[in-house]
Structure 1
Amino acid sequence: MLEFYGYWISTALLSVLYLASAAIYATRRDWVRQALTKLGFTAPFLIPFMIVIKVLGPVAILSRISVPLSDLAYAGIFFHLLLSGLAHIGVRKPAGALPAAIGLALLITSFMTQNDARDMPSPYIRAAMR
């Protein structure tokens, strides 16, 4: 039962983190563009792409239309959070990596407990437990 609540709480918080980030990207484009420039990213197409990804990732996990699609969303979010945290550390702003670290903790909790809360199990959990 603890795993059930752990899954839903961590998944809800991760989704809120990502959807809030997407809202910031959509409403404060100039500020986000400046922040990305400070991290060394100057691609103008990155912001609209990230808005879509930050919405579709949690939708794929929460809706669980397809287990492989959900697991792919977990992988994508994992790499995004990892690279985001490393980008902040790379420019010597470790405080900026804190949301990514929190997101990684939520993501790992959600991923590892998903089979306890969902009807369709992910085959990758068994492989990760070995």
Structure 2
Amino acid sequence: MSGDEENYMAVIITYWISTILLSLLYLSSAFLYLTKATWVRQTLAELNYPAPYLVPLMIVVKVLGPAAILSRISVPLSDLAYTGIFFHLLLSGSAHLGVRKPKGAVPALIGLALLAASFATQNSARDAPSPYAPAYEAVAH
């Protein structure tokens, strides 16, 4: 394999690993919201969020966001999911830091790193390119 091919394969592997790990982070969080509802509501209330309204919405969002990215039935929908996840992770991390609980912000920071890797490499790994993600020069032969 040439250097370009190796680079191309590394980009594709980066995309799939980061996307799957990000999806698992979100799906496990949705599962936690479903199975530990009392604890989740209490934690959200400590962060000054309206837990009774937010929990059902977040369960849906935490399932549909990864589904839109993984299925890629629509590039605009996938881009919207990336955007929504980005803002959710920023708000989540900020909320934990705002109440001086930095350990609670760690999953958001990990999520942001996975999101950045997935978003930046998606055009190399997917057939339909996003107009917002960077294009890589390395091409498979």
Range class of TM-score, shorter chain:
over 0.9
- What is the TM-score when the length of structure 2 is the normalising length? 0.88
SS, match of residue 123 in structure 1: coil
Q: How many residues align?
A: 127
For 2:129, which of 117, 121, 125 is the aligned residue?
121
**1:49 partner amino acid:** L
Unpaired stretches in structure 1, ≥5 consecutive residues: none
2:103 is equivalent to residue 75 of structure 1: no
**1:45 partner amino acid:** Y
SS, match of residue 52 in structure 2: coil
Structure richer in helix, relative to its length: 1
User: Over aligned residue pairs, what C-alpha RMSD do you find?
Assistant: 1.0
Report how far residue 64 of structure 1 moved. Answer: 0.1
**Structure 1 stretches of at least 4 aligned residues deviating more than 4 Å after TM superposition:** none
1:27 maps to 35
Counterparts of 2:50 and 2:79 in 1: how far apart (Å)? 30
2:19 maps to 11
**2:104 partner amino acid:** G
**2:121 partner amino acid:** T
2:62 is equivalent to residue 91 of structure 1: no
Report how far residue 43 of structure 1 moved. Answer: 4.0
